[in-house]
Amino acid sequence: MKLKVNAGWLRQQVISHYKPIVGLLLLAILLQCVLSMRTKTVTFDEPNHLVAGYSYLKMGDFSLNWTNPPLINVISATPLLFLNLKIQTYDPYQSSHLFAHDFLYVLNDNAEQIVFWARIPSIFLSLLLGFTVFRWTSELYGIESGLFSLLLYAFSPNILAHSRLATTDLGTACFTFLACYRLWKFGSRPSVGNLLLAGLTLGLALISKFSALVLLPVYLLLPLTQLFLNGPQPRPNPSASRSDLKAHTPTGSLKKAGQLMMYSGLIVGISLLFIAAAYPCYLKPWYRFDETVLPAAQRVYPNAEINKALWHLVSSIRVPGREYALGLLGMVEHSKMGHDAFLWGKISPQGWWYYHLAALAIKTPIALQIMLLLAVGLSLGLAQRSLGSLRGLRRAQS
């Protein structure tokens, strides 16, 4: 006896009951992370991240892990405030790794409990990211596509691995994706609320990791790109209002593009307030002039005396957010100097230019790589079609 299943009926059932399915997939993420987290030993970077966040919350000291903005570290360390932990004052000339080791294993005797609770916030950020993946995909392509995207996310090895660690990677991915979603939302439906949410999520991304700075040109240019890729709008009826007719002219499109650029500037301005809030002017200096700023400054001003004079001048000006720029400067200088890297059985003091490409190829599941290539191909095809439609509209208007 063969069981016949009506595909249309099954599709309708999935769409009408999508909320329980979303809940089950998010629950699958939660269970996989929690159940495997207890058997996962401490990774190399976690102690530095969690003690940096804890020292910031407990003492207002941002001396540790200054090449990363504080948000994710603070979120990870928040549950630790309820454990009544001991911590010493950090000397900037002290090894941060030794300081973190002493915090976990010498000053306190519950290292496993500390690490466990520091990892919990990352799981909730992963759930937020997964739900946003579902929501954005559903709004673009429908409920079925949203469920499929969430299914891929819920069982992605990379996502699950980072969702249970007290590091900055998953949190940065979460807020960066949220920022892109809210920008798209604002571009689709401009409003004061969507503008504020776009600025808020961009600010959260910027104080998560310096790599999120790539969003700034995206925020400034993506509204124009969206206006371009949306293609030509159907011609209005001759009886339409004068404002509707004007909106379909090249002048009207340029005016709309100018407005979108202005709004993008406002969004970026709102996000900068988060940087100022994350680095208030009352924080005590944490940087080391001789190791952090001087090497980079000498690239511009070879004279050491001029460098010191400029540095003391800048140090005397206490403004919110200044340490963000100094941390970025230190991170850039560190990336130029490089550090030990391991790849294919070899160790290099400065790494290889193809290191991240090789890591992407090795760590990313082959099926996902194939789907990414297909997505790029489809996106290029859609962009080419939109360009052809735009050219056709221009010819029709001329």
Average pLDDT over residues 343-363: 81
Identify residue 172 by its one-letter amino acid code.
T
**How far, in Å, CA of 147 to CA of 144, rounded?**
5
Q: Is there a contact between 320 and 276 (Cβ–Cβ < 8 Å)?
A: yes
Average pLDDT over residues 305-309: 56
Distance of CA 209 to the CA centre of its chain: 7
Average pLDDT over residues 300-313: 53
Q: Mark 280-313 as b/e (b = at least 16 C-beta within 10 Å).
A: eeebeebbeeeebbebbbeeeeeeeeebeeebee
Q: Is there a contact between 90 and 63 (Cβ–Cβ < 8 Å)?
A: yes
Query: What pLDDT is attached to residue 289?
Result: 43
Average pLDDT over residues 89-99: 76
Is 60 exceeded by the pLDDT of residue 238? no
**Residue 177: partners with Cβ closer than 8 Å, 6 or more residues away:** 129, 132, 133
Could you tell me the residue ranges of all domains in the chain? 11-164, 167-231+253-278, 293-336, 352-397
The DSSP code for 24 is: H
Residue 288 confidence class, pLDDT cut points 50, 70, 90: very low
How much is the pTM?
A: 0.78
**How far, in Å, CA of 348 to CA of 338, rounded?**
9
Residues in the chain: 398
**Residue 218: partners with Cβ closer than 8 Å, 6 or more residues away:** 180, 183
Is 70 exceeded by the pLDDT of residue 3? no
